[in-house]
Structure 1
Amino acid sequence: MDSRDKDLYRAVWRWHFYAGLLVLPFLVWLAITGGLYLFKAEIDGWWHRDLKVVVPAASAPRPASEWVAAALAAQPGTLRKLTPGAWATGSAELGIRRADGERVTVYVDPYRAQVLGTLPDGGTLAWTIRKLHSLKAFGPVARGFIEMAAGWSLLLVLTGLYLWWPRGDRKGRGGVLTVRGRPRQRVFWRDLHAVTGLAVGAVLAFLALTGMPWSVLWGQQVNQWANGHNFGYPAGVRVQVPMSQQRLPETGSTAWSLAQAQVPQSKAPASSGADDHAGHAGHAGHEAPAAPRPATPPDMLSVDAVMARVQRLGLAPGYSVSLPSGPTGVFTAAVYPHDVAQQRVVHLDAYSGAVLLDMGYAGYGPLGRWLEWGINVHLGQEYGVPNQAVLVLACLAIVLLCVSAAVMWWKRRPARALGVPPAPADPRMMRGLLGLLVVGGLLFPLVGASLLMMGVLDRLLAPRLLPPATPR
């Protein structure tokens, strides 16, 4: 390589090192927890078998109103949501807001209307793994680090591809497609890292991009922009029906592209006196008495009537029905199955049962459709077992990528030093590359801020405190 190419190589290697320094611990964490969450149904079916699995009876399931009565007898409060089992051996899950305000999920045998047990809302083992994966369990600051890790992962992939790219001084396939040397040698770990990175780099970049919608800053801003410009909002929201100020996520879990969707309003009969029922069970957000009582005010549709109506609409198995919030609220049936094309949200008038809105994947804007597909693939859902298998192999490869990077660095670093790769002889090369990275960082503000911070540290501290590593 001539001096200019060598300077560019050193600049890229240096930033690849910084990216790895920041990201590797997060990547290992994300790969392990994400790999586990791919099997959420299997994990919960095993760990919570006594709550999730029932023995089917010869007769049909009992009416939903009996499930509700049993759940409210066990956990007095307000019914929020009802989820029938997605298959014959699945229990029904009823979301209850207790009199003390705590949200719990009551599991009921649908054939016998018997309570199987109770968990806090989002208290299953799989949901705990999901909250650990996103660092949601540790607050918004920790989630900001996940957002930075996703952006730096993209930088790792791009710089790693440049470093791997065959050059004239590298002959044959050794170190490009095959691994040379033995485990005791540094070249073995260097080649293992390069070849593994080549194999998993595209998947890693895909996971980083499709994980961004959940991020604390970038994801929220893009969601609002996409919805505000009709790229993500379903076209059905634009029809002329009275809309409330309630957002769909307030009724339960939703698709990412529906996070800003407003819920329509029911039209109460003139003689209903609906305003007098704001405190009745089924009106989420209001204090409920300690004793069990009906899931909806008497002038609204019964739970049994609503469940029958939803079944006739043909939603995919696994749907949930959320109850009205206030006298002008609606019944909302929603399902987010493995097949993204079957995503659907239906709002029903609480008094007449009329369909106010019927949203599906086909009605999303182009950005919404792409993001929902990416999220479904990210979760290992869209293509079933093949999707899971690819992602499991990717998670294992990401862990290997991180381990090989750590071993390679350990073997290369000088004694009692961090071993930062050597800086380019021409400092303009480093500044130019940083400038390009910052332009990319403008798309991801937290990543851009961390890039600038690392640039300052590299300029001020690295020359004095961090002796350089030996060449690759």
Structure 2
Amino acid sequence: MKNKKLNSWLWRWHVIAGLISLPFVLILSITGGIYLFKDNYEAPHLAKINQIKEVKGQPLSFQKQWEVVQKKSSKKPDEIILNKNNVQATRFASGQFATKSTLYLNPYSGDILAQIREKDSKMFKVRKLHGELLMGKFGTKIVELIACWLIVLIITGIYVWWPKKKWSLKGVFLIRKKEGRRNFFRDLHAVTAFWFSVLLLMILMGGLPWTDVFGDYFKWMQKVTHTGYPVTWQATNVHSKSFGIETIPLDSVIGIAKGMDLKGEIHIGLPYKKTDVFTVSNTVGDPHYLEIHHLDQFSGKEIVSHDWNDIGVLMRGRLWFMAFHQGQFGPWNKYLMLLTAIALFTLSLSAFLSYYLRDKKGWGIPKVPKNFTVGKVVIGLIILLSLLLPLFGLSVLLIIVFHYGKKLSANKIS
């Protein structure tokens, strides 16, 4: 049997949090569903740029192409991305995330065909809307707070959904279609939320590491527990040991990289200073196949290399859930995420319609008996969530201050 008073209290907070979160959740579900197909959307445009129309003679050496790019580009390239054949443009990239810029070079003529800046793309704007509501750091924190409260909505929703007396298929696992519009939308919300609750939690676990407060907190946990990347995963922590007059040709490094038989797309990080290294790495949907190899820029010898087995457990979890969040494991993952985004939009909209179709006397917020006291288990769960999700904890603190401040004001007036 459920505690009726606790059920009313949780239901009250479920409704309040749901109404506040609703517009943001709708935006997140739409933009998330769209961004899943970023590569599909951009592929035709990039294919036109990437394809060499006229192939004449022999291509320039990669070393020569690198020299050409350094002269013609205002920004020195950080890496070269290997192509599968010789009828594609050579790609040199610089910067990361919002500052990333990819330059397409004709390997036969040495002409720059195009320069694509990440921040200029339409999908970048979709991502910014999804991650920060186009409001910068402030927007990121709003999205993070909504994500924290979505976890609370899932937990409270499951408790409220749980049958009071006995189980039945209709209204619990199936949607009632012939018992009025309000019951239909109520069931559509509750049943959809139940069936997708685990997937929604997994998506949230993949999204939260990108946020500001939780993201920094998670990085701190990795650091103190030594469960992140190995120190020598980053090229900045590895240095060339042998010093010569000239570095080995980029063509030789590319030959070494191709011999490694890495899965996915191969990237070669380019050195700036004499102490820097060539870094061979790969981008691949499944993070289990990640590898990184640091090569001495003068001898070409491997200084250190790492793979999935060298990554700490917290970082492994982060990489897996982030890949799952983005649908990187293949078509099944992408379409499962799309289905979940549609489900999130559906359950959110149906919740609002169920609320709108109620008997419209007052706000329709469930009432809680005045003598109700929150139990130790619930308080313990709130404290645990507050420790794990700092922004949620801050919001709870503000609610408590506001609640008791309101009570004190009422007592003074009376």
Structure 1 stretch displaced more, 179-188 or 358-367: 179-188
- Unmatched tracts of structure 2, length 5 or more: none
Is 1:7–1:425's contact at 8 Å kept on the other side of the alignment? no
Matched with 2:258 is: 311
Matched with 2:339 is: 393
Q: Could you tell me how far 1:62 is from its partner in structure 2?
A: 4.8
Q: Could you tell me how far 1:335 is from its partner in structure 2?
A: 1.5
Is 1:61–1:110's contact at 8 Å kept on the other side of the alignment? yes
- Unmatched tracts of structure 1, length 5 or more: 239-246, 252-261, 273-298, 466-472
Q: Could you tell me how far 1:410 is from its partner in structure 2?
A: 1.6
CA offsets 1:417-457 (integer angstroms, 9 cap, x no match): 54322123423138974563233211111111112223444
Q: Which residue of 422, 429, 432 maps to 2:374?
A: 429
- Give 2:343's aligned amino acid: A
Matched, 1:9 2:7: yes
What is the CA RMSD across the aligned residues, in angstroms?
Answer: 3.2
- Give 2:399's aligned amino acid: M
Secondary structure of the corresponding residue to residue 193 of structure 1:
helix
Instruction: Specify whether residues 317 and 428 from structure 1 end up closer, same or farther in structure 2 by C-alpha distance, changes over 3 A only.
Output: closer
Matched, 1:405 2:351: yes
C-alpha separation in 1, matches of 2:355 and 2:85: 50
Task: State how many pairs are aligned.
Answer: 406
Matched with 2:209 is: 213
C-alpha separation in 1, matches of 2:75 and 2:203: 40
Is 1:233–1:364's contact at 8 Å kept on the other side of the alignment? yes
Q: Could you tell me how far 1:207 is from its partner in structure 2?
A: 0.7
C-alpha separation in 1, matches of 2:258 and 2:121: 27
CA offsets 1:250-274 (integer angstroms, 9 cap, x no match): x7xxxxxxxxxx52111352x64xx
Is 2:19–2:352's contact at 8 Å kept on the other side of the alignment? no
C-alpha separation in 2, matches of 1:88 and 1:123: 28
Q: Which residue of 188, 194, 207 maps to 2:190?
A: 194
Matched with 1:291 is: none
Matched, 1:148 2:95: no
Q: Which residue of 162, 165, 171 maps to 1:165?
A: 162
Paired-residue identity, %: 27
- Give 1:265's aligned amino acid: H
Q: Could you tell me how far 1:122 is from its partner in structure 2?
A: 4.8
Q: Could you tell me how far 1:112 is from its partner in structure 2?
A: 6.0
Matched with 1:255 is: none
CA offsets 1:364-384 (integer angstroms, 9 cap, x no match): 1222222222221111112x1
Q: Could you tell me how far 1:225 is from its partner in structure 2?
A: 2.4
Matched with 2:240 is: 266
Matched with 2:323 is: 376
Secondary structure of the corresponding residue to residue 177 of structure 1:
coil
Matched with 1:43 is: 41
Matched with 2:76 is: 78
C-alpha separation in 1, matches of 2:337 and 2:211: 20
Instruction: Specify whether residues 459 and 400 from structure 1 end up closer, same or farther in structure 2 by C-alpha distance, changes over 3 A only.
Output: farther
C-alpha separation in 2, matches of 1:60 and 1:20: 63
Instruction: Specify whether residues 93 and 122 from structure 1 end up closer, same or farther in structure 2 by C-alpha distance, changes over 3 A only.
Output: farther
Secondary structure of the corresponding residue to residue 78 of structure 1:
coil
- Give 2:335's aligned amino acid: A
Matched with 1:279 is: none
Question: TM-score scaled by structure 2?
Answer: 0.86
C-alpha separation in 1, matches of 2:354 and 2:103: 51
Q: Which residue of 174, 177, 186 maps to 1:178?
A: 174
Matched with 2:286 is: 339
CA offsets 1:19-45 (integer angstroms, 9 cap, x no match): 313332222222222212222211111
Instruction: Specify whether residues 58 and 393 from structure 1 end up closer, same or farther in structure 2 by C-alpha distance, changes over 3 A only.
Output: farther
Secondary structure of the corresponding residue to residue 151 of structure 2:
helix
Is 1:61–1:111's contact at 8 Å kept on the other side of the alignment? yes
Matched, 1:446 2:391: yes
Is 2:50–2:104's contact at 8 Å kept on the other side of the alignment? yes
CA offsets 1:226-275 (integer angstroms, 9 cap, x no match): 144222233xx47xxxxxxxx93xx7xxxxxxxxxx52111352x64xxx
C-alpha separation in 2, matches of 1:211 and 1:217: 12
Structure 1 stretch displaced more, 65-74 or 139-148: 65-74
Q: Could you tell me how far 1:117 is from its partner in structure 2?
A: 0.9
Question: TM-score scaled by structure 1?
Answer: 0.76
Is 2:119–2:125's contact at 8 Å kept on the other side of the alignment? yes
C-alpha separation in 2, matches of 1:56 and 1:229: 55
Is 1:268–1:327's contact at 8 Å kept on the other side of the alignment? no
C-alpha separation in 2, matches of 1:75 and 1:209: 39
Matched with 2:302 is: 355
Instruction: Specify whether residues 196 and 122 from structure 1 end up closer, same or farther in structure 2 by C-alpha distance, changes over 3 A only.
Output: same
Instruction: Specify whether residues 88 and 214 from structure 1 end up closer, same or farther in structure 2 by C-alpha distance, changes over 3 A only.
Output: farther
Secondary structure of the corresponding residue to residue 196 of structure 1:
helix
C-alpha separation in 1, matches of 2:169 and 2:100: 59
Is 1:174–1:180's contact at 8 Å kept on the other side of the alignment? yes
Instruction: Specify whether residues 125 and 82 from structure 1 end up closer, same or farther in structure 2 by C-alpha distance, changes over 3 A only.
Output: farther
